[in-house]
Structure 1
Amino acid sequence: MINKWNKTLLAVLIGAALFVEGGFGFGVTALAAGGEQPQTADTAAAAGQASYSLTPLIQAAVQSASVEAAPSGRRIAVTVRMYNSGTERLRVPDFELRAQTADGLEYKLDASSGNKKALKPQEIAEMVFMSVVDSTSPLELAGLSFVHVDEYVYPKQETQLVSLPLGSDVWYGGAGSTDRLPTRVWGQTFAIPGLNSRLVYTPAGFSRQTTEKGPAVVVTVLAENKGTGREAVPDFRIDAASDQKKYAGVRTEQGNVQLEAGEKAYIHYAVQLEANAQVDRLIVMTTETFAADGQTTAIDTGKIVIAVPDGGLAEPTLDTGYSIGTPIRIDPLSKAIDHTEISLVELHIQQNPGDSYKTGFAKFRLTNTSDKSVPTPSFEAELVSAGGAAYSGMRQTSVPDTLNPGLGSVISYAYHIPLSESSGGFVLKLLDGKTASPYNLTIAALQVPVQQEVDNGTTLHLYPFDMTLEDWSVGTNYVATNTTYSYKMKVTLDLKQADNVVVDSNFSKLHFEVVDKLGRVLGTGDSAFTGTQKLVSGSQTLATSNIQSEQIEFPVILNLYEQFDTASGAAKRFLKTLQ
């Protein structure tokens, strides 16, 4: 008997602790067991009470309360969390939940048909109550009361079980209601009031993006489990607002997100905006469901306001000390990159002959750091100038499916940049386009210089190759069988390749153009670094195709390019002119 009593007492204490973490924290008047007069709020506070008993073993706390406009008037909604601190299954006591307004009116709230009728031992359940008042006049809630009504006596007898005032935590809907909510600055960790949870959240990322649906803001929140067991991230959302309007957000992750004790993970929210909309705050919103007569009503409640970051942008810490060729620091919580080291090995920006714009050319080495094959990661690469202009990279059309252990592969990106862009350095952002598709998430940001185009004589650098032109000459090739001709270039090369870097048919090609003295392209040709006709050290002959004139013309020059294919066409980087 003593052991059973001790277990029951311990359960009650645990339940009280849970309600301290998740309850509203209102001043409460609670009816003591045995029908004694209710304690005052001061007495309850002095006693350190944190949960309020409907019965000796069932405690109740208010999780949320709201008043919002409805098609037929004003909707009052309250969610109550109940806890069975006993060791047996207990029936939820019969009671009415009533809401009192500041002007002295009282409204009985209907119980959702989804509310539980009984609680298992140690079970916590949410009970939803709602009533629609046929009035357009503003309503301000002042308090709630739990009332037991005995209708089997005449006149019916009412017993107040619990009475509590409501304060600033009531949600009144709309952007203007945020003044009543607790506020956090950007980057400040918070827990969601009213939820029985050991998870805490830290705003970590904020960016403005444009999709086919229009402008949007994407918010990244770092969730951390401070508890001792696995816990699911509750189904809340983040909205964005200004003084005039509120925009609803959606979580991009599908399904439940489970966190083990001590685990951290990102969750992401996207908020579609109107054109030219400006928002200055975020609102953490929870949603409960009220069910009646086969229909359901979603009830939203604002919990916390978060100020947007200064400048309207928050991303991973910028790496200002990056050196080309070294591994890029990827956000360790990102799941976009698996056992792969990424290094920027080339960044060129220049105007190719004949073009009316500049071309950017970025090349990355991807190295498998594990002992098994891994999929080639998919990421986007964006260049941001000192003036804030963002240029999206066009990735090479084809990439290898997998990376083998200990080996590197090369992936290239091209950029179209206006002639007016004069930045000597850019911020390079690696973007994850899958986790929160169709939105992009920044997984790395680094300050990078543009490589200077230095004439190295006859040596050309096309990572992972260093190609030295030891000799060259231009001639013609006539085919009598079909009376056609082409230009041909005889070259002697010394070709060196970096160790442990694999190239395949997806790698860049050496592209050359035969140009006359007026700048007209007379013919073009391509030579690969792989395959049976690949470039090698020693002498070889390269022939043109696509002849653009009907007769041989001399003198001519050769323009050499590195070229790869993108979804928008061929991307070229000018290398050298051979006379």
Structure 2
Amino acid sequence: MRIKWTRHIATAVLSTSLLALTGVYVNADEAPAVPASPNYHLTDAIKAEVKSVLNEQTPNGTRLGAVVRLYNQGSRITAVPEDEVRVRTDDGVEYALRPSTANAKAIMPKEKVELSYLAVVDREDPFTLSKLSWLDVDPYVYPRTEKLDLSIPIPSMEWHGDSADISNPSSIKTWEQSFTIPGLSNAIQYKPINILKQNTPQGPASVLTLLAENKGTTQQSIPDFRIDGKSATKVYNGKKVEKDAIRLEAGEKQYIHFAIPTQDKDELKSLNVLTLESFTADNQNVSYAIGRLNILLPDNAANLMFNQAEIYKKDTPISFDPLNKLIPANVNVLLEELQMHGSGKDGYKAVVAKFKLLNNSDQPKPIPNFSAELTNSSGYGYSGTRQSLGLQTLIPGINYVIYYTFVVPGSESGEQLMLKILDGVSAAPFNIPIAAIRTQIQSSPADDDLVFYPFHVKVNDFNIARTYTMGTPSYSNKLTMDMTISQDKAIVDPNFSKMRVEVSDKEGKLLGSQAFSLAGDNRLGTGDPAVTFSSDQLVTALTVKIYETIDTPYGEAKRLLKTMQY
């Protein structure tokens, strides 16, 4: 939509000068340009600097804008000069910019204010802006007089819109570099931490994590800015995830996050950092962004975290990001088991990760509600489903075991995996990694112990008793097993994995099956669990298999632990 107030500017100019036409001016009396120096003075007391320059082609014309900062160096309140602000093009044409109605009218002593100016001109050919000028215009004389108060060169400052490229070498950063944002506070330094693609109900999004650190000596607020993603052919506008204002004390660090919606197979090559500007007129607010920096993404961005993750050492606590807000420093999380379960003929497998949690404090703590994801060496990720929990509290000094299931394709070998622990709370609805380890599917022990961590089951003996029912061609069979069950020093939720015993004939036909719980009120203790089944004839060759079973969103998955022949 073309902004209507461009005509208002032209009308005002036509009423005061015969030299003006729709906001376009012939050159005013030339005055010596101010030397290229960071110190430009609009008056003796007011110092001026240009923050932003916009020269953007839109469907409704070319949008020209400028944001300037004025600093009152004096000891008295000073009115903002009522100068006319113009931009000058490389071909000598000048355009008047309209001041925002939100602009300050006066400046307090030692105060800095930002003033916004904007215009839309009916011009489609590309051009470059060379100067921003302040002119003292006297409309009450004829012909009207113009006095040039200040002119600032701006050829390298203009921004041509979201699709523009940032080519200044000093404004291009590598992934590893920390940076401050030109035009914003130099006290806050930013560093890219990771960028991960996630699926959302609205489609895929790349979620960027930045570490913000206050390098100053006083409290600082993180200003509003935007980060866009750039692929080889498109620009995707990002948005900061955090809604509330963030204030950092001197020396404090905190993560901030940006979500960048993308297309499924379009890979980002770089990121643009943009500051946000606004203009108000005729009860309309116009917002736009100015590109400041370009951050190059590494060639292997998708596998960057996989390559950096440390190989996990068993029986050691997982190392979490010290800035994470989900896992308390006095709670240890260990990966105790990572096993592959099958699903029969359904074509998928289930990886089961069992974590041991220990509260080292002297106060009860809630069980951390972390998420988990497995990623293989090819970059395919699989989200974990947490077991249903009845207990919600970690008692000090007691180990507690919970499990997560990951449904993976039947072709997944599990030889090279990265396990990420994710925080789904701090930047909801997105998941932010707070730990990552390299691991692989564990092999089952070769001894007689059946491990259902934290349970250990040993089958001492088993027997099958048969009873023939007179008058019917059927047998009643009862499998009994003498088992010894022990448990490591850890508690589990009643909704834990189970032990399933299956009996089949020599052709593999299933004759009987029974699931036994190892936790809860009806748990299996040391003794003789039994499986009963019927058969039409006397069966002499039987196979007994013992599985660990676990519930997944797609049904039951089981892992074979022992096979016995009878």
- Is the TM-score greater than 0.5? yes
**Maintained 8 Å contact 1:285/1:301:** yes
1:568 aligns with 2:554: yes
**What count of residue pairs does the alignment treat as equivalent?**
529
Distance 2:96 2:381 in 1: 56
Q: Letter of the 1:255 partner, please give it.
A: D
- State the alpha-carbon separation in 2 of the partners of residues 258 and 316 from structure 1: 32
- 1:250 equivalent in alignment to 2:239: yes
- Which of 244, 248, 261 is equivalent to 1:259? 248
Q: Partner of 1:239 in structure 2?
A: 228
Please state if 1:198 is matched with 2:192.
no
AA partner of residue 558 (structure 1)? V
Please tell me whether the aligned partners of residues 222 and 266 of structure 1 are also in contact (alpha carbons under 8 angstroms): yes
User: Paired residue for 1:443?
Assistant: 434
Match of 2:135 in 1: 147
Q: 1:552 to 1:289 in 2, by over 3 A?
A: farther
Secondary structure of the residue aligned to 2:165 is helix
Q: Give distance in 2, aligned partners of 1:502 and 1:478.
A: 43
Residue matched to 1:472: 462
Change (3 A) 1:166 1:485: farther
SS at match of 2:374: strand
Please, which of 382, 388, 395 is the counterpart of residue 391 of structure 1? 382
1:195 offset after TM fit, Å?
A: 1.6
Match of 2:61 among 60, 73, 81: 73
Give 1:22's aligned residue.
Answer: none
Structure-2 separation of matches of 1:293 and 1:571: 65
Counterpart of 2:480 in structure 1: which amino acid? K
Partner of 1:41: 35
Is 1:559 the counterpart of 2:545? The answer is yes
- 1:344 CA drift (Å): 0.7
Quick check: 1:349–1:360 contact (8 Å CA) kept in 2? yes
Q: CA deviation at 1:497?
A: 2.0
Q: CA deviation at 1:491?
A: 3.2
Give the equivalent residue in structure 2 for 1:453.
444
1:117 aligns with 2:108: no
Match of 1:498 among 485, 488, 513: 488
Q: 1:180 to 1:536 in 2, by over 3 A?
A: same
Q: TM-score, normalised by structure 2?
A: 0.85
Change (3 A) 1:475 1:376: farther
Q: CA RMSD in A?
A: 3.0
Select which of 141, 149, 153 maps to 1:161: 149
Match of 2:300, SS state, is helix
Equivalent pair of 1:399/1:411 in contact (CA under 8 Å):
no
Please say if 1:376 is aligned against 2:367.
Answer: yes
Instruction: Output the CA distance in 2 between the equivalents of 1:257 and 1:554.
Output: 74
Q: 2:136–2:147: 8 Å Cα contact kept in structure 1?
A: yes
**Are 1:104 and 2:92 an aligned pair?**
yes
Alpha-carbon deviations, 1:486-535, whole Å to 9, x = none?
A: 86543333322222x22121222222223232223333322222333222
Q: Please state whether the residue corresponding to 1:41 is helix, strand or coil.
A: coil
Return the alpha-carbon distance in structure 2 between the equivalents of residues 385 and 83 of structure 1. 56
Pair 1:58 & 2:46 matched: yes
Cα deviation for residue 62 of structure 1 reads 1.3
**Cα distance in 2 for residues equivalent to 1:56 and 1:426:** 66
Q: Which moved more, 1:111-120 or 1:379-388?
A: 379-388
- Residue of 453, 458, 467 corresponding to 1:463: 453
Q: What displacement does 1:355 show?
A: 6.5
* Alignment equivalent of 2:280, drawn from 291, 295, 298: 291
User: What is the rounded CA distance, in whole Å, between the counterparts of 1:39 and 1:274 in structure 2?
Assistant: 48
**Change in 2 beyond 3 A, CA 1:194/1:559:** same
**Partner residue in 1 for 2:121:** 133
Q: CA deviation at 1:95?
A: 2.0
> Is the contact between residue 175 and residue 243 of structure 1 (CA under 8 Å) also seen in structure 2?
no
**Counterpart in the other structure of 1:308:** 297
Structure 1 Cα separation of the partners of residues 535 and 50 of structure 2? 85
Q: Distance in 2 between matches of 1:411 and 1:76?
A: 59
What are the superposed Cα offsets for residues 238-278 of structure 1, whole Å, 9 maximum, x if unpaired? 11113532111111122212211111111111211234323
- Distance across 2 between alignment mates of 1:269 and 1:485: 67
| Whole-angstrom CA distance in 1 between matches of 2:100 and 2:535 | 83
> Could you tell me which amino acid in structure 1 is paired with residue 199 of structure 2?
T
Match of 2:19 in 1: none
Task: Quickly say closer, same or farther: Cα 1:487–1:311, change in 2 above 3 A.
Answer: farther
Correspondence for 1:337: 327
Q: Indicate the percent of aligned positions where both proteins have the same amino acid.
A: 39
Q: Give the conservation status (yes or no) of the 8 Å contact 2:402–2:493.
A: no
1:7 corresponding residue in structure 2 = none
The offset of 1:292, in angstroms, is 0.8
Give the one of 418, 437, 460 matched to 1:427.
418
Matching residue's letter, 2:334: S
Query: 1:197 deviation in Å?
Result: 4.0
Report the more deviating stretch, 525-534 or 218-227: 525-534
Q: Which residue of 2 aligns with 1:324?
A: 314
Residues 351 and 405, structure 2, Cα contact 8 Å, conserved in 1: yes
Whether the aligned pair in 2 keeps the contact of 1:206 and 1:309 (CA below 8 Å) is no
| Alpha-carbon distance, 1:64 to partner | 0.9
Q: Which runs of 5+ in 2 are unaligned?
A: 1-30
Aligned-pair CA distance for 1:91? 2.9
| Distance (whole Å) between structure 2 residues aligned to residue 371 and residue 61 of structure 1 | 57
Matched, 1:184 2:173: yes
Matched, 1:282 2:282: no
What letter is aligned with 2:286? T
Matching residue's letter, 1:557: T
**Greater shift in the superposed pair: 114-123 or 549-558:** 549-558
Structure 1 residue 307 displacement after superposition = 0.7
Question: Structure 1 stretches of 5 or more lacking a match?
Answer: 1-36
Q: Is the 8 A contact 2:34 2:151 kept in 1?
A: no
Alignment deviations for residues 7-56 of structure 1 (CA, whole Å, 9 cap, x no partner): xxxxxxxxxxxxxxxxxxxxxxxxxxxxxx978416xx4xxxx4433334
Alpha carbons of structure 1 residues 96 and 368: separation in structure 2 relative to 1, 3 Å? farther
User: Is the CA contact 1:169–1:180 (under 8 Å) kept in the aligned structure 2?
Assistant: no
Please give the alpha-carbon distance, in whole angstroms, between the structure 1 residues aligned to 2:211 and 2:467: 65
Q: Closer, same or farther in 2 for the Cα pair 1:312/1:321, shift >3 Å?
A: closer
Equivalent AA in structure 2 for residue 202 of structure 1? K
Letter in 1 for 2:43: T
